[in-house]
Amino acid sequence: MTPNKEWTPNSWRAKPIKHNVEYTNQEALGRVLENINNLPPLVSPAEIDRLNKQLEKVSKGEAFLLQGGDCAESFSGCNAQQIEDKIKILLQMSLVMIWGMRVPLIRIARMGGQYAKPRSANTEVVDGKEVLTFRGENINGLEVDDREPNPDRLLRGYFHSAATVNYIRTLLNSDFANLHFPQNWNLEWVKSEDIRSEYKEIINKLADAFDFMKTIGVENGSPTLSSIDFYLSHEGLMLEYEEAMTERIQRISQDESGKTQKKLSFVSLEKLGTDSLEKSGDKYYNLSSHFLWIGDRTRQINGAHVEYFRGIANPIGLKVGPSLDPEELVRLLDILDPDFIPGKVTLIGRYGVSKVQAFLPQYIKAVQATNHKVVWCCDPCHGNTASTPEGYKTREYNNVIGEIGLSFDIHKTLNSKLNGIHLELTGEHVTECTGGSMNIEAKDLSRNYQSFCDPRLNYLQSLDIAFMVAKKYQ
């Protein structure tokens, strides 16, 4: 598809923009963006094309999407242990879900660029002083005296993203992604003996299956068991940065693409056949990530974010909350997916357990009346956020799984299908969300509350959800 002649990577600048960052030093910002524009891409067009094809299968119910990671990454979190923990929990969740659901899983991490967040207010009061709101480490600092937006942080964000991407590639090219690990899962945190026994039974079945395949020689030389497809994503909030990372790709020859894949691929090399290396034509790709999404606060039809997103070849997500009118949703889809490409747009619903039954059916019916074939994804975290009297933002596990369960039921009733889940999670044993098999209570939150943004599901709560989804899907 030839890019729209009226669209360019900077055409968004003529549109009104929400949650923009005001930099006082425009000259410094220009230098930083020029530098970023000249730096190497973080992902390849061939990887993006492959994800597009896989999401097409998700939209048809032939696969399921698992997307998860931090609410907002931090520069200090760009270290080997935390990266490994996030990859590990997503791999373990996907293995449980594949076992129970019997469908392929597409894994997309909220990593390698999720350094900015929209905030409800531009300022906040800290110790009696009004200061600019902390908006993520590629914009400003968490310390009160470091709240002025600094263009150099965009460059730091690029290099931290590059370091994350590079280490993930290293892990995926090593035995870290080898699927022979169920026996080593740590369930000592599960307080309920019944739940622990149930989990152990499933894990033991997985281990037996791998042992059987090893015995009959299936694992020998099998790339499926030792390598995986893995993709990265972030919210496309900072359009100056996204513009700088956007490139017009006129043609990718098989030889050139093959060479690039050997250096950059998140995709198993054995899976990259000729069809993945086809000539891409003349398209614009955002090469900062495989998948980007528009937030619930920046999806204005005539706004800058929708204008930018409509021109890129990447698969894109659209957060859908109760404030969106069904007719407006259809108009957004017509803008973002004018060619009716299956899986091009992932609709990420974020309603809350108390509102999902009132709103989700409207959106399903509205989309069913069109030719758009979307990926229906449930974000059960954002609509279920609450604050304790002590000031901790938290989420109750039962509300999270409640929204997932209701979403499955609503889709089934309307002859539709929930195609994925989108979670804010971590592979660490934090205490930020209540409930789950650890039986975390509000009084326990202070024990290990680490998030500087929104609360995340911890390692075991994330596994709890994987087991729950695997059961519900059957």
Question: pLDDT tens, 258-317?
Answer: 443 333 344 433 333 334 334 445 899 999 999 999 999 999 999 999 999 999 999 999
Residue 157 lies in a domain: yes
CATH of the domain at 327: 3.20.20.70
Residues 206 and 326 in one domain: no
- Residue 462 covered by a domain: yes
Q: Are residues 192 and 240 in the same domain?
A: no
Nearest CA among 335, 151, 172 for reference residue 264: 172
pLDDT at 267: 46
Residue 255 lies in a domain: no
What interhelical angle do 459-473 and 397-413 show, nearest 10? 20
Supply the pLDDT for residue 187.
Answer: 64
51 and 130 both lie in a single domain:
yes
Predicted confidence at residue 276, as pLDDT, reads: 37
CA–CA distance, 468 with 474 (Å, rounded to integer) = 10
Specify the pLDDT at position 198: 76
59 domain residue, yes or no:
yes
Extract the runs of DSSP E, i.e. beta strands, from 111-237.
123-126, 129-132, 231-235
Strand ranges in 200-241 using DSSP code E only, listed in sequence order: 231-235
Tens of pLDDT, residues 131-175: 999 999 999 999 999 999 999 999 999 999 999 999 999 988 876
How many C-beta atoms lie closer than 10 Å to residue 54's C-beta? 23
Residues of the chain with confidence (pLDDT) below 50? 1-3, 180, 221-226, 252-280
21 and 138 share a domain? yes
351 within 8 A of 383, measured Cβ to Cβ: yes
In this prediction, residue 188 carries a pLDDT of: 65
Provide the number of structural domains found in the chain. Answer: 2
Residue 424, annotated as binding a ligand: yes
- At residue 180's C-alpha, the angle toward residues 176 and 186, to 5°, is 85
Assess whether 239 and 348 both reside in one domain: yes
- 205 is an annotated ligand-binding site residue: no
Q: Are both 62 and 21 inside the same structural domain?
A: yes
Known binding residue 411? Answer is: no
Alpha-carbon distance of 117 to 119, in angstroms, equals 6
Residues 63 and 45 in one domain: yes
Q: What single-letter amino acid sits at 117? A: K
301 and 153 part of one domain: yes
Is 454 assigned a ligand-binding role in the annotation? Answer: yes
Nearest to 458 by CA among 402, 404, 400: 400
The span from the first CA to the last CA of the chain, in angstroms, equals 38
- The predicted pLDDT at position 121 comes to 82
Q: Which two tokens stand for residue 36?
A: 């970023």
Residue 366 sits in which domain range? 15-174+228-247+281-473
Unique residue bearing structure tokens 């007719």: 327
270 is annotated as contributing to ligand binding: no
pLDDT score for 217: 65
pLDDT for residue 281: 58
Indicate whether 8 belongs to any domain. no
Report if residue 30 sits inside a domain. yes
Q: Which long-range contacts (CB under 8 A, 24 or more apart) does 211-219 make?
A: 214/180, 219/180
Kindly state whether residues 27 and 140 are assigned to the same domain: yes
* Contact criterion met (CB below 8 Å) for 320 and 296: yes
| Residues belonging to the chain | 474
Regarding whether 201 and 170 lie in a shared domain, the answer is no
Report the pLDDT value the prediction gives residue 6, as an integer from 0 to 100: 87
- Tell whether 158 and 198 lie within a shared domain: no
Query: Do 62 and 136 fall within a single domain?
Result: yes
Q: Which residues pair with 284 in a beta bridge?
A: 248
Whether 395 maps to a domain, the answer reads yes
pTM: 0.89
Neighbouring CB atoms inside 10 A of 408's CB total 16
Q: Is residue 7 part of a domain?
A: no
